Structure 1
Amino acid sequence: MTEDTLTQHIIDMLAGGHFTLANDDTFFFHDAGNRFPFATIVTKDNEFDNASNLDRPGVFRLNIGVGKETFQALFGEATSEHAPVDPMALDTLMPHPACGKTYWVSVINPSAQTFEKVKPLLAEALELARTRKAG
């Protein structure tokens, strides 16, 4: 899967949501308020998040904010500090290297097969964002 394909899928599922680009990264919001993204696509390391070595050519990471129950069903009590996988691994769903403790998951350069598994997580993240806004 390409970054553009992933971006287009998320834009299509937003149905009235909003996205913004900042420093070549893409942030997806449930509405135009831009309060907090439910998913992001990042393309490079920064001083706060460099565990995935995103500065490699052609590498990007899809990040998704899921609920606690989903996160624990996927990884148990693992957080980014105790993740069972290499944070630089390609096509592997894992706790987000910097935000795992807040129930964010990530995958670097997901394949089409992995993205099929991730689609329900994106739907959940979008619904959680909408629910928080309504509450």
Structure 2
Amino acid sequence: MTIDEIISFVGGLDGVLTLRPAPGDGTPEISWGDTFFYYAPDGAIPATRQPFATVVTKDCPGDEASRLDRPDTFRVNVAAGKEAFIRWTGHEPREPASAEADPSATDTVIAHPVYGAAGWLAVVNPGERTEASVRELLRTAHESARARHARRAESTTRRGPGR
């Protein structure tokens, strides 16, 4: 899968806001070239929510284990949730693993090297082995984000405006 294929796939899901920070748009330089996916049917960046998936194209301070400094290397990150995380890793997000996969291995679903404890999974350069799995993880993360949005909207409606 290419970055453009991932962006096209996720962008085709309902209510997705895709952010692609670039020079001159007011975003921090460290985010340029990366992509962030939010469930935002109103088209506005959610003020208090994290994206449900990202594509990162470079190492960041404290997150160098995937070795994204290699040519043509990127990592897709997915807020997989507890169930999917356990299914893929064999342990709960906050539990240490007996032996984690190499975070720089390509085309392999792994616990996110920094946000694994929060239930995030990652794949460096998804390819033939992981393409179907990445698509399913992205669909599931999108559905979870959509459901959270619906619950928040329902809760706000019950409380009434300004409460």
Task: Report if TM-score (shorter chain) is over 0.5.
Answer: yes
Q: Which residue of 1 aligns with 2:150?
A: 134
Cα separation, 2, equivalents of 1:123 and 1:9: 9
Match of 2:34 in 1: 25
Equivalenced residue count is: 134
Contact 2:53 2:78 in 1 (8 A): yes
Paired residues of 2:110 and 2:121 also in contact (CA < 8 A): yes
What amino acid maps onto 2:45 in structure 1?
Answer: G
Matched, 1:55 2:69: yes
- Call closer, same or farther: CA 1:101–1:43 in 2, change over 3 Å: same
1:116 pairs with one of 123, 126, 132: 132
Equivalent position to 2:116, from 91, 97, 100: 100
1:11-33 Cα deviation digits (max 9, x unpaired):
112x2320101311000001033
Tell whether the 8 Å contact from 2:82 to 2:92 is kept in structure 1 after alignment. Answer: no
Residue 42 (structure 1) aligns with: 56
Distance of 1:76 and 1:116 partners within structure 2: 20
Secondary structure at the aligned position of 1:120 is classed as helix
Partner in structure 2 of residue 64 of structure 1: 78
What's the offset of the Cα at 1:78?
Answer: 6.1
Q: Secondary structure at the match of 1:18?
A: strand
Residues 25-48 of structure 1, C-alpha deviations (whole Å, 9 max, x = no match): 000001033331000000000113
For structure 2, the 5+ residue unaligned runs are 22-31, 152-163
TM-score of the superposed pair, with normalisation by structure 1: 0.90
SS of 2:19's equivalent in the other structure is strand
Query: 1:78 & 1:108 partners in 2: Cα distance?
Result: 21
Structure (1 or 2) with the larger CA radius of gyration: 2
Identity value in percent:
42
Partner AA of 1:65 in structure 2: A
Q: Distance in 2 between matches of 1:101 and 1:37?
A: 16
Segment of structure 1 superposing worse, 27-36 or 17-26:
27-36
TM-score scaled to structure 2, two decimals?
A: 0.76
Aligned-partner Cα distance in 2 for 1:113–1:101: 24
d(CA) in 2 for partners of 1:70, 1:114: 14
